[in-house]
Amino acid sequence: MYSSALTVKGQVTIPADIRNQLGLHPGDKIGFAIEDDHVILFRKENDIEAAFGICHPKTSASLQDIEDAIRKRGGNADG
């Protein structure tokens, strides 16, 4: 069992073993859930990671097709 002290700002340090097991890195989002009188901490997936693989394009486009579409809509495809 691990423990950590609560700071005056309401912060705690997550022990390294737990960070490693959850694959947590600086800047990662974590979630909390309450069950009875216990708090459950879990790693939240980034929105882009959670959405990865759910979109399936009907057609593909070459880089030239994309640049042509940008120009057609009045944008600058030159960077």
Q: Quote the pLDDT of residue 6.
A: 95
Structure tokens at 33: 């859930």
Q: What DSSP line would sit under 33-65, residue for residue?
A: EEETTEEEEEEPPPHHHHHTT----SS---HHH
Cα-to-chain-centroid distance, residue 39 = 21
Q: Quote the pLDDT of residue 54.
A: 66
Q: pTM of the prediction?
A: 0.52
d(CA 20, CA 25): 8
Q: Quote the pLDDT of residue 75.
A: 66
Structure tokens at 18: 């737990």
d(CA 50, CA 52): 6
Mean pLDDT of residues grouped by 10 in the chain (79 residues)? 94 94 90 93 74 71 88 72
Q: Quote the pLDDT of residue 39.
A: 92
